[in-house]
């Protein structure tokens, strides 16, 4: 424990006149002198020198107050940073001991955030992919400028473009180090845009959720067709959309929007820390295509398949839907979605025009 920083002590002395009561630290100043209180004890009728000595013995309480209150931070940022270190639940001493020791570990989506104690009680944040929690920072590509996060998160580890920032495909191999609170919030903003703002609104009970119906009613241009998909005959189709797009395996946001106010969807919204407040542009774009496809009537087709071939088709759909097709090993011919198995099925069951069992899609084709 080091002595209290002079600047912080001066700030506390001035603030005491209007009263300080923060995370267990109470500092007041009236005609009887100063009052200094921590969970360890209360001291009253103090001179400025005595007050300074007590502050000297409790620098963590003073710097904790200073870090959160004496600096100009937006409310959203304060709430987010305090949430990360559990400031509303963990006493100052407990947090400082942990930060000074191994650091406090927090998470946000797939981000692992390490909070260490910096100089004069300030925090130093480190951010990386949670799957690399045990990887030495030196073996990662190190960044200090939050803006660099934009390019880093553009592609997944397989080199594919990530149009959805909250898809659980955060790439690995990098770390942001030596960040202060502002830089941490900026970095998170570039990795998971608007998640902090919406999380904060939700905590205050002010999150403005736009449900499926109102979102689709709002659409125009090529997307205005989507509203015709809702025919007042139930909302099973929206359950399918949410199951397809919004499960935790596809998006880390916790879906808070429903079919409409008072009509919840039957599928789970997920367990993410930050909320999803309306169908996103990917859902809207996909819904336009589904609206067109779902306008078709069903038809009866007749296919001759062995039982294993039927199951193989189901296995192929599952593998694609779960993103596992590429991880099926080259020679694993026991998997229905194995490439050789699929090629065999195509060779046997597709005609030269690519039609399953030679069955035309339309009567005339």
Q: Which of 119, 138, 141, 220 binds other proteins (CB under 8 A)?
A: 220
Q: Which residue has the tokens 């025009």?
A: 353
Q: Looking at 108-116, 149-157, 334-342, 351-359, which segment touches other proteins (CB under 8 A)? A: 149-157
The sign of the torsion formed by the CA atoms of 153, 157, 158, 164 equals negative
Q: Is 349 in the site for other proteins (CB under 8 A)?
A: no
56 Cβ contact list (under 8 Å, min separation 6): 3, 4, 9
Q: Is 334 in the site for other proteins (CB under 8 A)?
A: no
Q: Is 25 in the site for other proteins (CB under 8 A)?
A: no
Q: 285 is written with which tokens?
A: 């774009």
Is 232 strand, coil or helix? coil
Q: Which of 197, 247, 267, 356 binds other proteins (CB under 8 A)?
A: 197
Q: Looking at 90-98, 105-113, 118-126, 272-280, which segment touches other proteins (CB under 8 A)? A: 272-280
Q: Which of 19, 163, 264, 323 binds other proteins (CB under 8 A)?
A: 163
Q: Which of 39, 74, 295, 360 binds other proteins (CB under 8 A)?
A: 74
Our CA dihedral for 151, 156, 159, 164, rounded to 10 degrees, sits at -80
Q: Is 281 in the site for other proteins (CB under 8 A)?
A: yes
Nearer to other proteins, 193 or 323 (CB): 193
CA-nearest of 34, 32, 41, 43 to 16 is 34
Q: 191 is written with which tokens?
A: 């990795």
Nearer to other proteins, 82 or 339 (CB): 82
Least CB distance to other proteins at residue 114 (A):
24
Q: Which of 35, 95, 143, 165 binds other proteins (CB under 8 A)?
A: 165
Q: Are 286 and 241 in contact (CB under 8 A)?
A: yes
26 Cβ contact list (under 8 Å, min separation 6): 20, 35, 36, 37, 38, 42
Q: Are 133 and 121 in contact (CB under 8 A)?
A: no
Q: Are 275 and 202 in contact (CB under 8 A)?
A: yes
CA-nearest of 133, 135, 132, 121 to 85 is 121
Q: Is 189 in the site for other proteins (CB under 8 A)?
A: yes
Q: Looking at 53-61, 158-166, 173-181, 254-262, which segment touches other proteins (CB under 8 A)? A: 158-166
Q: Which of 239, 260, 278, 325 binds other proteins (CB under 8 A)?
A: 278
Nearer to other proteins, 9 or 209 (CB): 209
Q: Is 249 in the site for other proteins (CB under 8 A)?
A: no
Nearer to other proteins, 27 or 287 (CB): 287
Q: Are 61 and 12 in contact (CB under 8 A)?
A: no
Q: How far is 276 from 22, CA to CA, in rounded Å?
A: 32
Q: Looking at 97-105, 107-115, 188-196, 317-325, which segment touches other proteins (CB under 8 A)? A: 188-196
Q: Is 201 in the site for other proteins (CB under 8 A)?
A: yes
Q: How far is 339 from 322, CA to CA, in rounded Å?
A: 16
Q: Are 189 and 176 in contact (CB under 8 A)?
A: no
Nearer to other proteins, 162 or 339 (CB): 162
Q: How far is 283 from 246, CA to CA, in rounded Å?
A: 9
Is 266 strand, coil or helix? coil
Q: How many residues make contact with other proteins (CB under 8 A)?
A: 27
Q: Which of 100, 133, 137, 147 binds other proteins (CB under 8 A)?
A: 147
Least CB distance to other proteins at residue 171 (A):
13
Site residues (vs other proteins, CB under 8 A): 74, 147, 150, 154-155, 161, 163-166, 189, 193-194, 196-198, 201, 208, 218, 220-221, 277-278, 280-282, 285
């Amino acid at each position: 424990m080091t002595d209290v920083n002079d600047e912080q002590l001066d700030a506390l002395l001035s603030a005491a006149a209007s009263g300080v009561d923060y995370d267990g630290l109470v500092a007041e100043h009236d005609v009887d002198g100063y009052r200094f209180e921590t969970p360890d004890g209360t001291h009253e009728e103090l001179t400025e020198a005595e007050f300074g000595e007590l502050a000297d013995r409790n620098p963590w309480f003073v710097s904790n107050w200073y870090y959160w209150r004496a600096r100009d931070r937006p409310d959203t940022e304060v709430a987010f940073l305090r949430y990360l270190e559990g400031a509303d639940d963990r006493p100052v001493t407990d947090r400082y001991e942990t930060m000074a020791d191994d650091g406090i570990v927090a998470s946000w989506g797939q981000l692992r955030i390490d909070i260490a104690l910096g100089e004069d009680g300030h925090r130093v944040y480190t951010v990386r992919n949670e799957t690399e929690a045990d990887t030495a920072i030196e073996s990662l590509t190190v960044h200090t400028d939050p803006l660099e996060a934009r390019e880093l998160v553009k592609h997944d580890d397989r080199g594919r473009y990530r149009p959805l920032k909250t898809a659980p495909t955060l790439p690995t191999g990098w770390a942001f180090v030596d960040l202060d609170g502002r830089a941490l919030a900026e970095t998170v903003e570039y990795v998971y845009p608007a998640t902090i703002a919406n999380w904060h609104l939700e905590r205050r009970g002010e999150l403005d959720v736009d449900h499926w119906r109102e979102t689709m009613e709002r659409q125009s241009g090529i997307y205005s067709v989507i509203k015709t998909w809702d025919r007042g005959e139930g909302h099973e189709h929206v359950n399918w959309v949410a199951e397809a797009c919004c499960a935790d395996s596809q998006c880390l946001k916790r879906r808070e929007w429903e079919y409409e106010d008072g009509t919840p969807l039957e599928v789970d919204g997920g367990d993410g820390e930050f909320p999803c407040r309306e169908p996103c542009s990917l859902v809207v774009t996909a819904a336009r295509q589904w609206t067109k496809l779902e306008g078709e009537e069903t038809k009866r087709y007749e296919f001759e398949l062995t039982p294993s071939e039927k199951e193989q088709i189901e296995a192929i759909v599952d593998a694609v839907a779960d993103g596992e097709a590429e991880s099926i090993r080259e020679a694993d011919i026991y998997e229905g979605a194995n490439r050789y198995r699929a090629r065999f099925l195509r060779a046997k069951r597709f005609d030269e025009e690519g039609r399953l069992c030679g069955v035309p899609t339309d009567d005339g084709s």
